[in-house]
A and B are shown apart, each in its own frame.
Chain A
Amino acid sequence: SQWGEENLQALSIQEGEDVTMNCSYKTYTTVVHWYRQDSGRGPALIILIRSNEREKRSGRLRATLDTSSQSSSLSITAAQCEDTAVYFCATDDATGYQNFYFGKGTSLTVIP
């Protein structure tokens, strides 16, 4: 398996709070994707960070990547109700064989 430490399964926060989700992976990857999945829908990419980047920002989202510890995090600043979703990290296996591995995912609920 590509995955080591389990992601948190469920998080519930108040609107306006900041939240961070973590994932770790076992083998070398060239990129970490973070996807958001709304109920009953397919996942959609929200941020992608490459192995030569330490941090990536997009609006209220911030992703970090630490290749030495093989871990990544996704932070949401001032969470809003519409951030309620399941968040997954995903990596490739760097073999060029088109394999993407998804982590366990975090179900985030933002309470008004």
Chain B
Amino acid sequence: AQTIHQWPVAEIKAVGSPLSLGCTIKGKSSPNLYWYWQATGGTLQQLFYSITVGQVESVVQLNLSASRPKDDQFILSTEKLLLSHSGFYLCAWSLTSAETLYFGSGTRLTVL
């Protein structure tokens, strides 16, 4: 069975500090991977997607970057956090375009 694990579960960080969030998918080779951001009470905004190792496409510019160093790993990061980065970050995978998205449990980020 496929599993998706996100870490950490929650972070409280200072404005201007760096950030790294991670996501690992087990049990599925070469999945499409996604990062989404959700403001409290808001909808999901797609940030990045990746269809293969080493290739990441940006959907919106939010002073964040993403990398896929391994087939099963997706990393979201920034060198300098802004207050507006607060929210709920979700990693997801799918087999192909337009198919089901399987989400992780998310990381709650609070920037102070």
Contacts and interface: CB of A to CB of B under 8 A. Distances in A.
Given A96-B97, A98-B32, A98-B97, A42 B43 contact: no
The binding surface of chain B is classed by DSSP as strand
B90 interface: yes
Interface in B69-88: none
Interface residues on B, range: 20 to 34
Instruction: Please indicate which of the listed interface residues A41, A100, A101 has the most CB atoms of chain B within 10 Å of its own CB.
Output: A100
A38 B46 CA distance: 19
Interface of A: 30-31, 33, 35, 40-45, 48, 88, 90, 92, 94, 96-105
Given A94-B98, A97-B57, A98-B49, 9 more contacts: A31-B98, A42-B104, A42-B105, A42-B106, A43-B103, A92-B97, A97-B97, A99-B59, A105-B42
